[in-house]
Structure 1
Amino acid sequence: MSRMPKLPLAVTMGEPAGIGGDILLKAWVEHGGALPPFFVIDEPARLIGLARRLGLEVPVREITTPAEARDTFHQALPVLAQSLATSVIPGSPDPRNAPAVIASIDRAVALTLGGEAAGVVTLPISKHILHQGGFTHPGHTEYLAELAQKAGHPAVAPIMMLSCDAVKVIPVTVHLSLRDAIVSLTSEAIVTAGRQVAQSLRDFFARPNPRLAVAALNPHGGENGDMGREEIDIIAPAVAQLQAEGIDAFGPTPADTLFHPEARDGYDACLCMYHDQALIPIKTIDFHHGVNVTLGLPFIRTSPDHGTAFGIAGSGKANPSSFVAALRQAAEMVIRHERAVLAAERAAAHTPS
């Protein structure tokens, strides 16, 4: 990247028994010189031991403030200390460490909202393990929204977008069973997602006139109601509303024809009706470079588009590419935001009073 954000990115611990530490350390070793500066909120001793286990030479330097990270980053991995309740065995998660995982997220968000970090990049968590430790949210997205609301941003309506160079997809319903997703799907949810995605594509992805595809829910788009009426009763009215608001949206289009190369050339992002309808295509098209971006928060947040992979944790087999892409995506979004703020300030300075 030719330009870096003014502030470092805050990286959360993620599930310490998963591959988060592996990809963090490998990314710093393999790509450090080309990455935006960041610091990780984690236990320094754990990372030192993990680097030794992986055979990686990573000098770990404990910092006390995010401001130290930018000068430290190219000589050592900056770590803002977060103690764990018990030692970590790769591949064997322990719910006793759940409070530290959650605290890492809390601190990253607080530091970003407080103007000490440029954005948040979250390493993968295990929802099941966190739930055993008392976590009550379906996932990262919902928890980040609550943190933003508690910090004084009550109108937050976060939208999950999965992004790679080839495609951007948005699940309108997210962490629900397929049965519950179908029941909960509404025109209002589709319109809300479409508005946020269109605005974010303009603000952060250099798409001044974004085009949105909207996927059908049922096979063959419902066959005019013969295979379900959701397209007629829910999705088509939402598309019409988006169009009425000046958003270039089209659909509902059968999902099985939306993701081949020629189809993808016709839109900037695709609204999908449920989780796997969105995630299967992006993970098939570019598994190692997908990035999870949360739109609609008062801060920038990205994450690798994969899970904890307990089966290979601590083995050195984990691929850091998605984490690297998440760091770069966050930095690009920060830079575009900084440019937009600067342009607005300049315009205001030249506006006659």
Structure 2
Amino acid sequence: MILRPIGKSFIICLLLPAAISCNSSATLHEFKIDGHAQGTTYAIKFYAVDSLQVTKPMVEALLDSLNESLSLYKDGSLINRFNASDRGVKMDEMLRTVVTRAMEITKDSKGFSDITVQPLVAFWGFGAKRIETEPDTTQLPEILKCTGADLIYIKRDSLLKKKPCVKIDLNGIAQGYSVDRIAAMIERHGIENYIVEVGGEIRVKGKKKPSGRMMEIGIESPADFEDDEIVLKKIITADKGAVTTSGNFHKYYESHGKIITHLIDPHTGRSISNELISVTIYAPDAMTADGYDHALMGMGMKQGLEFAEKNPLLDAYFIYSKADGTIADTATTGFYQLFKKEK
């Protein structure tokens, strides 16, 4: 089946056989868990002795705890308490982990990824209150005074801000972290072969059973930006690691002939506008992949490709629009090795 998560700017689908026989000598059986969480869908497939090793209530209890800490859409969540505060909040382990990694990625990407963009996301109409008309950009200089990674810092067990107007948005990294937390829970229960997907962010380990075939992940691409038509672009195979994508053709609106996407350049405060349509990242864990995919979108084709080639944690696949309007793609050397070999 093809999983098409709701609410992602770009869709990655798992290519799964309709059924897998469990009649081999192995004692592992295929189990699936799926549902809705974090404003999107999730789907888990694993191979285990019995279905009680990991259950839907266990998964949803974990997702609920993540929401209590990291969700902007959960009233009273820890992130919302931070955003509403004048000074900051005492962190739990989840917020500390995600914010610490986000700050590392901000520094490494020279600010192309920055969790303090929440005021800008809201300004452009992609927060809790949606708009579909370009706002008055004369307000941008004042809003930019409330953004920037230098305006937040960690002191002992607290996340603090230098200005009351500073707010953070973890949507660009928290789903990847959710995937990693589910994967860790699955492994704690002795399961070594699985696929975890939350909102299109994917982590895999092991192989399909009993066939022993590699896990397959399909990357989708827009056939036509205006009509939002989707076609399968590439298939990659992996037995470990994570794959996430950031793209500009699902969450956007058109105002006065201009396309406004939800991807914001923290440097300018404006919607990203370059030749890139999407960036797919392969990394050891989903939080790392999720944290970098938006950053590479902001860098643009040349800089993003060079950055990914030099980063030992990343491989990347780029879909972009050429000067003549046609769509093309390219990838890092390592990502090319992931493409499914045609027989």
Fold agreement, TM-score > 0.5: no
More strand, by proportion: 2
Compute the TM-score of the two structures, normalised by the length of structure 1: 0.23
More helix, by proportion: 1
Larger relative contact order, structure 1 or 2 (CA cutoff 8 Å, min sep 6)? 1
Compute the TM-score of the two structures, normalised by the length of structure 2: 0.24
